[in-house]
Amino acid sequence: MMRRSTIALLLALAACTADADTGTSDGAGDAGDAADDDGAGDDSADDGATDGGQPDACEAEGRYGDGTCDGACALPDTDCFLFFDDHAAADEWFTGYEADLAASESRPPRALVDASDARFAAMRELLERGWASYAVERPVGALDRAPELVVIDDPGVNAFVAFDRGVEKIGWAVMVQTGLIELGASEPALLGVVMHELTHAVDRHVLPDAGERVLIHYQVAPGEPEPLGFEQEDEPIARAAVAAWRKLGGEAGPYPLAELHGIPTGSSSLMTRVFNATLQRAVAADPDACAAALDRIEPFNQFLNARISPLDGLLAPLDEPERAELDLLSGDFMAALRDPCTLASDLDLFPLIAELFGVTVDEVLAEFDPSDVELVEGLPIVDQIATLTDDRYRRMREVEAMLVEDTGLDTSSLRYFSTEEAADDSTVPVLAGMGFPPDAVGEFFLAILPPPTRAECADLLARGDVPPYGDLTDDHHAFCFRAYHVAALADRVAAPATAARAPHTARPDAAEAYRRAAGPRLPRFWRPGDDTRSAWLAPPRQGPPPWNR
């Protein structure tokens, strides 16, 4: 078990960008503190909480607009926002922001679309109109104007908002990529995406100290009606298991199979980034030596691609012959990667991580757990990556087994209400207030799916089935599930809540047991993309094949 490697992604070796463009997954985030605080489900969960009649402490203490951003206030504090005099000022601001983002992703900065462009004008009109209704339907405090619009020339379908570390404020602008405008989605569907982003800004999800992105954890048994996240009780076992799974998956990837030989998965997992950099450099240094490894990526990717459901991004269960085949494919790929591809590589895990994140080696070592350092000491780079990745996969399987033992349910039962789900939820009352179908953002989620998957999702929804929830390491959940969810929420607006569910009870030492399984944290150094929140977790613009998303 000493040979593993990493992710295969790289078909596009040239231009790296190992990471999601607006990528913000914090899959590697919140594990350590998982069980302790129960910051669960406060106001971001429901629209009315901030104007529900309780006294507003920030108001009473004069903390709004006093020059200091109070991110935790019930209403948005204007001190938390960077306002722009005009569109040109917003473009200028974002141009500087994009330079950092691009540098951190090893890609050229993207161009902005001029305000005279028809796409800009159309989107601007939507944003103005959307804001007018948003400000009526949701608590926006003293925010008295629509955010500026920045349109980025990028075929990727996405939109996002951003926190600016330089001035420590949220840019009062919504960034929209041309791919989103050109998708051909309906006006209400586009407005839904705009509302999602407005909520990330207005509810201050994008502040670095905004707190946990996952607010409520629970489990749903097969056949049990799918409840709405914000209405649930936080369940300690689900909380502990989700935290462990997200932490480990954020480090290694979402498919914890021993047969992967330690090849990391997931487009933005930490080990994926390191693996991509390793392979890219080895190929650049000696293409001939890496030819065999590159050849073997193909069948490996094809095998996985054929078994990953586009409906939820998860790998179908493998039978014995399939496991044997994957074992062979992974082993062959890793063997060629180790020798000759990276044989001459003098890369070392810690200096490489330091370089990728722009920090010193000492800073990296200070963040690593000693047991991790020991685990990889003296190994060639490929084996360092594979050993750590395989360790995380093994821990994920341990979490799975523990959850089954504790609750009789596997990890497919796990659910969590995240700030992403809260942002989706916020679109429902606003779209309703505008006279549009309240679940119209669901059209966007369907439109973004490849046609065959879109048809499959539409069939599921038409039958009233609950689509698969998605990869737990992405706090956005799967597109088809999101479409289902906003429709369910829209129906609920008029319907009474279902009876309270009985939460799964925890054994006394459960949280500690899951934390132990989650193991030591890998360091997670800040990158500019971490300060953005997008409509979905975008895959890298170039790089990983689909299985890796």
Q: Tell me the closest approach of the beta carbon of residue 76 to Zn ion, in angstroms.
A: 17
Please state, in angstroms and as integers, the Cα–Cα distance from residue 200 to each residue in 170, 205, 424, 492, following that order: 10, 5, 10, 23
Please state, in angstroms and as integers, the Cα–Cα distance from residue 366 to each residue in 223, 425, 523, following that order: 47, 40, 9
Structural contact between residues 529 and 101, judged by C-beta atoms closer than 8 angstroms: yes
Q: Tell me the closest approach of the beta carbon of residue 445 to Zn ion, in angstroms.
A: 12
Q: What is the C-alpha to C-alpha distance for residues 228 and 485, in angstroms, rounded to an integer?
A: 8
Pick the closer one to Zn ion by CB: 504 or 533: 533
Q: What is the C-alpha to C-alpha distance for residues 313 and 311, in angstroms, rounded to an integer?
A: 6
Pick the closer one to Zn ion by CB: 381 or 423: 423
Pick the closer one to Zn ion by CB: 63 or 205: 205
Cα 129 versus chain centre, distance:
28
Outline where DSSP puts E strands in 157-201. Answer: 159-164, 169-171, 173-177
Pick the closer one to Zn ion by CB: 376 or 423: 423
Count of chain residues binding Zn ion (CB under 5 A): 3
Q: What is the C-alpha to C-alpha distance for residues 90 and 194, in angstroms, rounded to an integer?
A: 17
Pick the closer one to Zn ion by CB: 259 or 421: 421
Pick the closer one to Zn ion by CB: 74 or 161: 161
Q: Tell me the closest approach of the beta carbon of residue 196 to Zn ion, in angstroms.
A: 6
Site for Zn ion in 407-436 (CB under 5 A): 420, 423
Q: Tell me the closest approach of the beta carbon of residue 424 to Zn ion, in angstroms.
A: 8
Pick the closer one to Zn ion by CB: 423 or 522: 423
Q: What is the C-alpha to C-alpha distance for residues 255 and 145, in angstroms, rounded to an integer?
A: 45
Q: x/- contact string, 530-549, with Zn ion (CB under 5 A)?
A: ---x----------------
Q: Tell me the closest approach of the beta carbon of residue 54 to Zn ion, in angstroms.
A: 27
Pick the closer one to Zn ion by CB: 388 or 446: 446
Structural contact between residues 29 and 548, judged by C-beta atoms closer than 8 angstroms: no
- Looking up tokens 């200028």 gives 92
Q: Contact region for Zn ion (CB under 5 A) — 234-242, 347-355, 370-378, 529-537?
A: 529-537
Kindly report the backbone phi and psi dihedral angles of residue 308, in degrees, each rounded to the nearest multiple of 5, phi listed first: -95, 125
Pick the closer one to Zn ion by CB: 161 or 252: 161
Nearest Cα to 227, choosing from 506, 442, 484, 536?
A: 484
Q: What is the C-alpha to C-alpha distance for residues 132 and 470, in angstroms, rounded to an integer?
A: 33
Q: Tell me the closest approach of the beta carbon of residue 534 to Zn ion, in angstroms.
A: 5
Pick the closer one to Zn ion by CB: 148 or 475: 475
Please state, in angstroms and as integers, the Cα–Cα distance from residue 356 to each residue in 246, 339, 342, following that order: 22, 24, 18
Site for Zn ion in 210-249 (CB under 5 A): none
Q: Contact region for Zn ion (CB under 5 A) — 8-16, 169-177, 186-194, 528-536?
A: 528-536
Structural contact between residues 492 and 46, judged by C-beta atoms closer than 8 angstroms: no
Q: x/- contact string, 479-518, with Zn ion (CB under 5 A)?
A: ----------------------------------------
Site for Zn ion in 26-55 (CB under 5 A): none
- Interhelix angle 349-357/381-407, nearest 10 degrees: 80
Q: Tell me the closest approach of the beta carbon of residue 542 to Zn ion, in angstroms.
A: 23
Pick the closer one to Zn ion by CB: 399 or 423: 423
Q: Contact region for Zn ion (CB under 5 A) — 177-185, 305-313, 319-327, 525-533?
A: 525-533
Q: Of all residues in the chain, what percent are helix, strand and coil, respectively (each to 5)?
A: 50, 5, 45
Q: Does the bond joining 340 to the residue before it have cis omega, within 30 degrees of 0?
A: yes
Q: Tell me the closest approach of the beta carbon of residue 231 to Zn ion, in angstroms.
A: 21
Please state, in angstroms and as integers, the Cα–Cα distance from residue 494 to each residue in 230, 431, 498, following that order: 16, 15, 12
Kindly report the backbone phi and psi dihedral angles of residue 123, in degrees, each rounded to the nearest multiple of 5, phi listed first: -70, -40
Q: Tell me the closest approach of the beta carbon of residue 345 to Zn ion, in angstroms.
A: 38
Q: Tell me the closest approach of the beta carbon of residue 158 to Zn ion, in angstroms.
A: 9
Q: Tell me the closest approach of the beta carbon of residue 159 to Zn ion, in angstroms.
A: 9
Q: What is the C-alpha to C-alpha distance for residues 290 and 283, in angstroms, rounded to an integer?
A: 6
Q: Tell me the closest approach of the beta carbon of residue 161 to Zn ion, in angstroms.
A: 9
Q: x/- contact string, 371-410, with Zn ion (CB under 5 A)?
A: ----------------------------------------
Q: Contact region for Zn ion (CB under 5 A) — 5-13, 166-174, 501-509, 526-534?
A: 526-534
- Interhelix angle 187-202/419-433, nearest 10 degrees: 130
Pick the closer one to Zn ion by CB: 217 or 533: 533
Pick the closer one to Zn ion by CB: 242 or 423: 423
Q: Tell me the closest approach of the beta carbon of residue 535 to Zn ion, in angstroms.
A: 5
Please state, in angstroms and as integers, the Cα–Cα distance from residue 379 to each residue in 3, 189, 343, 353, 392, following that order: 10, 51, 12, 16, 17
Binding residues vs Zn ion (CB under 5 A): 420, 423, 533
